[in-house]
Structure 1
């Protein structure tokens, strides 16, 4: 073998050894069983990033229960972990594996503040503008008429077991849907709902919900952090503290839950949690965890009228 050839061989071996000794390149973190896609909505004229976590277990005979979480960029990874935990312990708990769908927005931010204000609020606020607020009805149309059929076309779903979770403005939207579209989900999970928004406009649907027969009612969890109306002293300006005082969270949530629980038709369907030691920024985590349990503890119910029992 000529010297030139030997040099090439040794050079190749050196490169191979160096490559083997080099540290592995960083790789993106992947969630097990999860994927995402972007979806344009005719109802809202906006684009959404949809996250889906499918269990690795086959669907039950009735199909997967489905949990839809708002603010999907932030909430989806947590909800997907909870669902994987449920699936891993299903032989002990008897709970079926859950399909999780996160509804978020394109981009890297955990929360798209202008977009969620546009999509999650009911009516236009005192200082707001049409198109920038008050899009709740259009957004709910998107979920019901566009998103649900698309997910159902890819996965076998249980129409009797579908839940919607949201926090803050998302909780406001969930509460609005529970009072005005009670058949759209079997369970509604409203975390720290902004009931104060727009002169408590969300409560306009309360009388209609109270008049519904028990058979037409969903299950509703309302939760709030015990410290939400007690901002840390010395950290906020007097103007900010005055603004927060006009936006009470704890008393409004507690009062609404009590009013619903006092109605014979709603008894046994409403859960209220006031999480000790939790503020507005963190409380959605225990609310989501407790909400998953509340959702899966749902008793069997007949399939909604006009829907196939295995599809939504």
Structure 2
């Protein structure tokens, strides 16, 4: 019987083992060095500072992105974004992309102003205090401060941003998601001349027994007194609509059914369209998006709605 020679196979095993040992020794020192020298990431054209507000008594972290392209004759358009810690990076990238293609598309990139909190949390800080309207039934202590927050934007933040670049006072927008979307609607209904474009993503219309809907009373008259009607984009994620899902907790299912995130946004868009109070109303149901993920396509649609 011929003898089976295992020498080549054993040699390969020894070679692989030796290579592994050599590699472990070879890379251990560079890997240790690779842990050194890291710094916080920065955004191109991005800048930030913390400011204290006389209107609210709170501190905010303000992020600003100014286009590299020359300002139009009337100044740059401006998009103010709530939850700035989370929304500013994506919106700044969209603005830079718009600027890079402006010669081809003819679209003007906006200045992006993210309004966040020094906590550094994506959705932390005092958003429940700042984004909720007053007058809601059983409003928790420390909430319902949207009017003071809007005073801060109008009286303190806007003049500050105007010192950084020439701005177009007739092309300014406000974006907000969830509680931020609620605040955006509150600004539209009570101060329709504060911005020309309002972008409300997955707004928490349910808050305070739907107190936001009571602000529609007198809204048409407030708009009629303006030199031009504002525009509104509403959006919601398809998966925010309540559906009975097997073993879903009953309490959670009851909350989702009561809040009617999609239904309330659709109903409001239909009502405002029929009223003719606004220059333009768009509603987007964002396919396969839930409450958390809907923010991202809503920002993209909102940018298109504003600059397009």
Shorter-chain TM range is 0.7 to 0.9
Aligned partner of residue 218 in structure 2, secondary structure: helix
The structural deviation recorded for 1:76 is: 0.4
Shift in alpha-carbon separation, 1:248–1:35, aligned structure 2, 3 A: same
- 1:102 & 1:55 partners in 2: Cα distance? 14
Tell me, yes or no, if structure 1 residue 107 matches structure 2 residue 119.
yes
Say if 2:242 and 2:257, in contact at 8 Å, map to a contact too: no
Which of 45, 52, 77 is matched with 1:40 structurally? 52
Which of 143, 147, 168 is matched with 1:133 structurally? 143
Tell me, yes or no, if structure 1 residue 194 matches structure 2 residue 201.
no
Is 159-168 or 210-219 further displaced after alignment?
210-219
Say if 1:124 and 1:133, in contact at 8 Å, map to a contact too: no
Tell me, yes or no, if structure 1 residue 288 matches structure 2 residue 304.
no
The structural deviation recorded for 1:89 is: 0.5
Tell me, yes or no, if structure 1 residue 90 matches structure 2 residue 90.
no
Shift in alpha-carbon separation, 1:92–1:188, aligned structure 2, 3 A: same
**Cα distance per residue 1:67-126 (max 9 Å; x no partner):** 0000000000010000001001101110112110000000221111x6111000012654
Name 1:270's counterpart in structure 2. Answer: 281
Unaligned ranges ≥5, structure 1? 1-17, 298-312
- 1:79 & 1:262 partners in 2: Cα distance? 31
The structural deviation recorded for 1:295 is: 0.5
- 1:159 & 1:196 partners in 2: Cα distance? 32
The structural deviation recorded for 1:206 is: 1.1
- 1:22 & 1:216 partners in 2: Cα distance? 60
The structural deviation recorded for 1:185 is: 0.5
In the superposition, the TM-score normalised over structure 2's length comes to 0.84
Report the RMSD for the aligned CA atoms in angstroms: 2.0
Say if 1:120 and 1:170, in contact at 8 Å, map to a contact too: yes
Larger Rg: 2
Is 163-172 or 275-284 further displaced after alignment?
275-284
The structural deviation recorded for 1:280 is: 0.6
Which of 57, 61, 73 is matched with 1:49 structurally? 61
Which of 156, 166, 184 is matched with 1:156 structurally? 166
Name 2:22's counterpart in structure 1. Answer: none
- 2:277 & 2:258 partners in 1: Cα distance? 32
Unaligned ranges ≥5, structure 2? 1-28
Say if 1:64 and 1:99, in contact at 8 Å, map to a contact too: yes
Aligned partner of residue 199 in structure 1, secondary structure: helix
Shift in alpha-carbon separation, 1:176–1:71, aligned structure 2, 3 A: same
Name 2:71's counterpart in structure 1. Answer: 59
Q: Which structure has the higher relative contact order (CA within 8 Å, separation 6+)?
A: 1
Aligned partner of residue 300 in structure 2, secondary structure: helix
Name 1:224's counterpart in structure 2. Answer: 236
The structural deviation recorded for 1:27 is: 2.5
**Cα distance per residue 1:185-215 (max 9 Å; x no partner):** 0100000111111111111221322333384
**Aligned residue pairs, count:** 276
Which of 121, 127, 140 is matched with 1:116 structurally? 127
Name 1:303's counterpart in structure 2. Answer: none
The structural deviation recorded for 1:22 is: 5.3
Tell me, yes or no, if structure 1 residue 253 matches structure 2 residue 265.
yes
The structural deviation recorded for 1:140 is: 0.3
The structural deviation recorded for 1:155 is: 1.5
**Cα distance per residue 1:160-185 (max 9 Å; x no partner):** 11000000000000011111111100
Aligned partner of residue 227 in structure 1, secondary structure: helix
Shift in alpha-carbon separation, 1:188–1:36, aligned structure 2, 3 A: same
In the superposition, the TM-score normalised over structure 1's length comes to 0.83
Say if 2:46 and 2:64, in contact at 8 Å, map to a contact too: yes
